[in-house]
Amino acid sequence: MTLVVQKFGGTSVGDPQKLTAVARRLVAAREAGHQVVGVLSAMGKVTDDLIALSHEVSELPEPREMDMLLSVGERISCALAAMAINDLGHKAISLTGSQAGIVTDTSHGKAKIVDIRAHRIHEALDADQIVLVAGFQGVSTAFEVTTLGRGGSDLTAVALAAALDADVCEIFTDVEGVFTADPRIVPEARKLETISYEEMLELSASGGKVLMLRSVEFARNHGVRIHVRSSFSDAEGTLVTSQEELMEQPIISGIAHDTSEAEITILGVPDRPGIAARVFRQLADETVNVDMIVQNVSADGHTDISFTVPKSELVRIGPVLQAVAAEVGARGVQQDSEIAKISLVGAGMKSNPGVAADMFDALAEAGINIGIISTSSIRISCVVPVADVERAVKVVHDKFRLSESVVLAEEG
Residue 258 placed within a domain: no
CATH number for the domain harbouring residue 105: 3.40.1160.10
Residue 294 placed within a domain: no
Residue 243 placed within a domain: no
Residue 160 placed within a domain: yes
Residue 404 placed within a domain: no
Q: DSSP character for 183? A: T
Expressed as residue numbers, the domain containing 74 is 3-174
Residue 249 placed within a domain: no
**Counted domains in the chain:** 1
Q: Return d(Cα 154, Cα 214) in angstroms, integer.
A: 8
Residue 108 placed within a domain: yes
Helices (H), 4-88: 16-31, 46-57, 63-70, 72-87
Please enumerate in sequence order all residues whose Cβ is within 8 A of that of 92, keeping only pairs 6 or more positions apart, or say none.
26, 81, 82, 85, 86, 129, 130, 131, 132
Q: What is the pLDDT along the chain (412 residues), one digit of tens a residue?
A: 799 999 999 999 999 999 999 999 999 999 999 999 999 999 999 999 999 999 999 998 999 999 999 999 999 999 999 999 999 999 999 999 999 999 999 999 999 999 999 999 999 999 999 999 999 999 999 999 999 998 999 999 999 999 999 999 999 998 899 999 999 999 999 999 999 999 999 999 999 889 999 999 999 999 999 999 999 988 899 999 987 776 556 789 999 999 999 999 999 988 788 888 888 998 898 888 898 999 888 767 788 999 999 998 888 888 989 998 898 888 899 999 999 999 999 988 887 888 999 999 999 999 999 999 999 989 999 999 999 999 999 999 999 999 986 444 444 3
Residue 65 placed within a domain: yes
